[in-house]
Chain A
Amino acid sequence: MTSSSALVAIPAWNEEGSIGDVIAKVNEHQPDADVLVVDDGSSDATATLAAKAGATVVSLPFNVGVGGAMRTAFLYAQRHGYTALVQVDADGQHDPADLDALIRGLEQADVVVGTRFHPDSMYFVGGPRKWAMVMLSKALSRMSRGPISDPTSGFRSAGPRAIDLFALEYPADYLGDTVGSLAIAIRRGLTVHEVPVTMYFRQTGRPSKNALWSALYLGRATLAILATSLKRGTARTDAA
């Protein structure tokens, strides 16, 4: 069905301002990869512009969140026989130049997470938000017996085993799509590696960073990890 084996999946919800550019840059850096845009119930021209830019577009009938959009992408990858899937944000904060490292990382791991925390990184967080992220990172690193410094990064890739797993089970809850999915992968014995990536600050809708927000954030993330750790087997209701 397909000539290339890598699929670049872009979950997009009302991103008409950036989607065209993102697809063009992905094509420029990865001319052999196929680009799939999962339009998560957008009410703007996201789907049309994505198709015009040459991407395959899958449109969800209503907004289901990043987790749902990604599971759709994993299902698509599984059914079309892709052996690698790279997730890229539609808002342009991920640099497609890093795609190569994320795909090559799959030679040694089932999941590769692009981390924003490395010596050359321009990305800084401080205060309570940082403590929350450090705690999450420690919890997941301990589970995986390897460093996962940036568990909330949405710039990541998945190999064949991870595609099969995530097509079946990918959390839709807040933070489930990032932290929760890593916990699921680790629990199923998949290997998770990380590579340094460049990430730009979001142009709009910058997340708030006060202490209350961080406490809630940490609480929900902990819940996401706990829910996964305590869950037995695949969610029956989720399976087809």
Chain B
Amino acid sequence: MTATILAIVASIVTFVFVFWLLRRGVLREKYAVLWLLVSGAALVLAIIPGALRWISDLLGVETPSNLLFFVTVVLLVLVSVQLSYELSRHEARIRRLAEEVALLRNQVSQESGGHGNT
């Protein structure tokens, strides 16, 4: 029983926290949606314990908690890879911007009769 309450509280807290971040404009929708879905699904599984067992039986997994762990790990790995992808893209863009800034700064100081550098 305690485990059920803990799971319900945890999923609600996650849901509310992500929603709060979204409202404050800190988190972009495309990321928020994922976590809202995940915490929503967790809440459903916490409220209806039979649901997890039913899915496990359907997939032929003997221990329901193992299914939960497996799905969680897969999800987290996918999210990490996605974040690495986003980060790489941003690093590439920031680098390109730095190069443009350097060239523009040079151009501006040339045009204003400076000596190429401040």
Contacts and interface: CB of A to CB of B under 8 A. Distances in A.
A56 B117 CA distance: 8
The prevalent SS among residues of B at the interface is helix
A58 interface: yes
B103 interface: yes
12 contacts: A48-B117, A58-B105, A60-B98, A60-B102, A61-B102, A68-B98, A71-B95, A75-B99, A79-B103, A237-B92, A238-B92, A238-B96
Contacts of A61: 98, 101-102
B107 to A, nearest CB: 9
A240 interface: yes
B115 interface: yes
A186 B98 CA distance: 27
B116 interface: yes
A172 interface: yes
Contacts of B117: 39, 47-48, 50-51, 57, 59
A64 B98 contact: yes
A72 B116 contact: no
A50 to B, nearest CB: 8
Interface of B: 88-89, 92-93, 95-96, 98-99, 101-103, 105-106, 115-117
Contacts, number: 57
Contacts of A75: 99, 103
Contact of B102 (A48, A59, A79): A59
Given A38-B102, A72-B103, A79-B103, A56 B116 contact: yes
A237 B89 contact: yes
A68 B102 CA distance: 11
Nearest to B89: A237
Contacts of B89: 237
A64 B106 contact: no
Contact of A237 (B93, B98, B103): B93
A141 B92 CA distance: 29
A72 B101 CA distance: 10
Given A59-B106, A68-B98, 8 more contacts: A50-B117, A51-B117, A55-B116, A58-B116, A68-B99, A79-B103, A235-B92, A238-B96
Contacts of A217: none
B99 A72 contact: yes
Contact of B95 (A39, A68, A240): A68
Which residue, of B93, B95, B115, has the highest number of chain A Cβ atoms within 10 A? B95
